[in-house]
Structure 1
Amino acid sequence: MAPGMRIVFGLLTFVTIGMIIGALFQLAFLWKLEDSYGMPHWRKDKEAEVLRLGYVKPEIISWSPRIIVLHNFLSVEECDYLRAIARPRLQTSTVVDSKTGKGITSNVRTSSGMFLSHAERKYPMIQAIEKRISIFSQVPAENGELIQVLRYERNQFYKPHHDYFSDTFNLKRGGQRIATMLMYLSDDVEGGETYFPMAGSGDCSCGGRTVKGLSVKPIQGDAVLFWSMGLDGQSDPSSLHGGCEVLAGEKWSATKWMRQRTTS
């Protein structure tokens, strides 16, 4: 082989080896990055663990009204914990009376439920959930109401309604409700979808019926974040929503309402 060809061949070999080494370093970087989105890396980071980074998968399902499904928002342990706290204290659910602003029983809502106490709000697991809600909703934790845990049994439902207030009584403490985080605590339920009749342009399933609008199936650990107020700061009528009839099993959920100002 001529000396010139040897030099060219040597350079090509050197460049090729360099490219291979560079590619290996790039792959190693990508593997490390992918691993950080898996769980082993985050176990060393308390903040990431609280926020369940790498687990929570947001999915925007509607812009008007604004609705985001947060898959894997809660762990199985957190779901079990909330159900265990609530079960001994469940009472017939109420709705807000538009005239007095107080809770009254109604055939509009047939579930049972309870609110966590201010003391329970300080429990480490509850604080972790509240911080996660605040980060993903971008609403300060102190603007949130106490978490409400609900159980819907067979044939129970919540007819379509708005979460924002139509009375002045409830606006005195914290202002208007601007957003809702609805978290599912159980699986093995038939029906019980969260239904938005004014969202989407197609059909969906609601308690075994096909209806117009958009619905979200209750899956343990998932959460639905939706806004009751639009970007213009006004109450959004299209945020109308309801809980479809449960056909079989039990539907457990936890709700966190966020206000314009601090509630404490």
Structure 2
Amino acid sequence: MKTKTVKGNWRWNWRTNRLGLPFVFLICIFFFLAGFFASSIFSHYQEREDDARLMPRARARLTGKSTEEETEYNLLKAGESGDDSITLIPFQVLSWYPRALYFPNFASAQQCESIVKKARVGLKPSTLALRKGETEENTKGIRTSYGVFMSASEDETGTLYAVEEKIARATKLPRSHGEAFNILRYEVGQKYNSHYDAFDYAEYGPQKSRRVASFLLYLTDVPEGGETMFPFENGFNMDGNYNFEDCIGLKVKPRKGDGLLFYSLLPNGTIDQTSLHGSCPVIKGEKWVATKWIRDQIQDD
């Protein structure tokens, strides 16, 4: 009887184990999946909550607009030449080497069209600042655009004045340090080989002032080509083999109303070698751009 009882217990345990292990396994899977889905739902909810909390800040960064509900500013009393309100001009850092910033929707379509209309009647072949030993003949083909210089005082519509004022706010460089606008037109095939906007003393001789920065306002869309390019961006292509006609490196596509700011001088006053830039040939369409060169000294009117 004792042996039989043990045998019977053994059979019962074997059957129980055979039925119980799958059951226990299924229970474990159930709780694992339940915990996994619960964790995912909580994580998704937390992300949406974080996004909702950060959205006003992100929207203000992207659009440059803010409401009282999103942000409240406790403004200080402005000085004699300051502003009583905050100026928001959205920008994107395209590069630190060179220091290049992009300003979307900097000017309206109407402003761009007004500038083009005003400049069109005075266009002449663009010229170059010649280095020692250079002549117009041996530099032919480097710059093939047409252009005209116009100061804000020559524009009775007030458009150039408004753009100039906004450039000063964006760059934190006074209007009095800017040259007259150089408004340029590039047709199909026209371009400007890579060059520096700041002039090296050794190559150009003594100067009263130097160009610190350049602001380009694109006045038209360009379907293909016409990019502003920086071949030495981040130190690339500086081994001495670069062909100054090559359209390589960081390229900025012209878009009507957008602006591009880049600095020609480093904080120590020397030329930033990575600020070498040019205009790629236009392949389709027509490129119009208003260039504002800003110097380290006040410019005569």
Instruction: Tell whether the structures are fold-level matches, with TM greater than 0.5.
Output: yes
Match of 1:179 among 213, 220, 224: 213
Q: Which residue of 2 aligns with 1:250?
A: 286
Distance 1:152 1:120, change over 3 A: same
Distance 1:103 1:223, change over 3 A: farther
Q: Which residue of 2 aligns with 1:198?
A: 232
**Aligned residues of 1:181 and 1:225 also touching (Cα < 8 A):** yes
Q: Which residue of 2 aligns with 1:217?
A: 253
Distance 1:122 1:101, change over 3 A: farther
Q: Which residue of 2 aligns with 1:75?
A: 108
How much identity, in percent, do the aligned residues show? 36
**Aligned residues of 1:133 and 1:181 also touching (Cα < 8 A):** yes
- Normalising by structure 1, we get a TM-score of 0.72
Instruction: Kindly provide the CA deviation profile for residues 181-224 of structure 1, in whole angstroms up to 9, marking residues without a partner as x.
Output: 01100014310000000114789xxxxx9964211000111111
**Aligned residues of 2:151 and 2:160 also touching (Cα < 8 A):** no
Larger radius of gyration: 2
Pairing of 1:90-109 with structure 2 (within 5 A): 90-99=123-132, 106-109=140-143
**Aligned residues of 1:180 and 1:227 also touching (Cα < 8 A):** yes
Point out where structure 1 has 5 or more consecutive residues left out of the alignment: 1-26, 40-50, 204-208
- The code of the aligned residue for 1:236 comes to D
Is 1:128 matched up with 2:162?
yes
Pairing of 1:157-176 with structure 2 (within 5 A): 157-166=191-200, 167-168=204-205, 171-172=207-208, 175-176=209-210
Q: Which residue of 2 aligns with 1:238?
A: 274
Q: CA deviation at 1:243?
A: 0.1
Q: CA deviation at 1:106?
A: 2.8
Q: CA deviation at 1:99?
A: 3.1
Q: Which of the two has greater strand per residue?
A: 1
Point out where structure 2 has 5 or more consecutive residues left out of the alignment: 1-52, 68-84, 238-244
Match of 1:84 among 117, 142, 145: 117
**Aligned residues of 2:95 and 2:101 also touching (Cα < 8 A):** yes
Q: Which residue of 2 aligns with 1:226?
A: 262
Partner Cα separation in structure 1 for residue 285 and residue 254 of structure 2: 12
Structure 2 SS opposite 1:148: strand
Instruction: Kindly provide the CA deviation profile for residues 80-126 of structure 1, in whole angstroms up to 9, marking residues without a partner as x.
Output: 01100110111101110123999887310000000104631675222
- After TM superposition, the structure 1 stretch with the greater mean CA deviation from structure 2, 149-158 or 116-125, is 116-125
Partner Cα separation in structure 2 for residue 96 and residue 210 of structure 1: 21
Distance 1:122 1:133, change over 3 A: farther
Q: Which residue of 2 aligns with 1:37?
A: 65
Partner Cα separation in structure 2 for residue 148 and residue 52 of structure 1: 30
The two structures, once aligned, show a CA RMSD in angstroms of: 3.3
Distance 1:122 1:63, change over 3 A: farther
